[in-house]
């Protein structure tokens, strides 16, 4: 009996996570766009800097594309977000954006998760072309 428990423990610790991941289906992009549509507060830190900023982010779906409106310090920039995966691991979905802030072109890569009320929450890295230290952004849903 004891040997069976040890074998079961070894099996679960080595194979179970892969079995669960293998059976997990990634949500389709239409569902993700619908889930993410909404208004968000944004908190960020610029790349290669300690300068922080706050703002507003709006995500809306238009003709199968996730349209983004970012407003920081009264300046608005519009871009699109696209779904992608982390390089080297197609099981880790991310959201990517290319936008302008203070006359500079930035790229951002966000992971998302559901908060306890099942709203999406995003955290990500923000890059300039030659970034040594990426910036950070956290994006939280506005509940109205």
Higher pLDDT, 143 or 21: 143
Quote the DSSP letter at residue 115. -
Kindly state whether residue 85 falls inside one of the protein's structural domains.
yes
136 pLDDT more than 80: yes
Kindly state whether residue 4 falls inside one of the protein's structural domains.
no
Higher pLDDT, 90 or 105: 105
Kindly state whether residue 1 falls inside one of the protein's structural domains.
no
Kindly state whether residue 55 falls inside one of the protein's structural domains.
yes
Positive or negative, the CA dihedral 105, 91, 60, 115 is negative
* Alpha helices per DSSP H over the chain: 2-23, 29-36
Quote the DSSP letter at residue 142. P
Kindly state whether residue 2 falls inside one of the protein's structural domains.
no
pTM of the model: 0.76
Rounded distance between C-alpha atoms, residue 87 and residue 9, angstroms: 32
8 pLDDT more than 80: no
Kindly state whether residue 92 falls inside one of the protein's structural domains.
yes
Kindly state whether residue 88 falls inside one of the protein's structural domains.
yes
Q: Residue 64's pLDDT is what?
A: 92
CB neighbour class for 122 (10 Å; exposed up to 12, middle 13-18, buried from 19): buried
Range of 116's domain? Answer: 29-141
CATH assignment of the domain containing 121 = 2.40.128.120
Instruction: Count how many domains the chain has.
Output: 1
Kindly state whether residue 102 falls inside one of the protein's structural domains.
yes
Residue 74 Cα distances to 57, 70, 124, angstroms: 12, 10, 22
| Residue 113, both tokens | 């998760």
């Amino acid at each position: 009996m004891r040997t069976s428990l040890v074998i079961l423990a070894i099996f679960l610790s080595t194979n179970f996570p892969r079995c669960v991941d293998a059976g997990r289906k990634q949500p389709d992009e239409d569902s993700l766009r619908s889930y993410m549509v909404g208004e968000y507060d944004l908190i960020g830190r610029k790349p290669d800097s300690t300068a922080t900023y706050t703002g507003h982010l709006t995500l809306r779906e238009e003709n199968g594309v996730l349209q983004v409106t970012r407003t920081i310090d009264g300046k608005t920039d519009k871009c699109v977000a696209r779904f992608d995966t982390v390089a080297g691991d197609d099981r880790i979905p991310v959201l990517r954006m290319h936008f302008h802030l203070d006359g500079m072109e930035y790229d951002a890569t966000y992971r998302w998760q559901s908060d306890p009320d099942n709203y999406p929450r995003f955290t990500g890295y923000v890059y300039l072309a030659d970034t040594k230290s990426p910036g950070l952004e956290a994006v939280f849903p506005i509940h109205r």
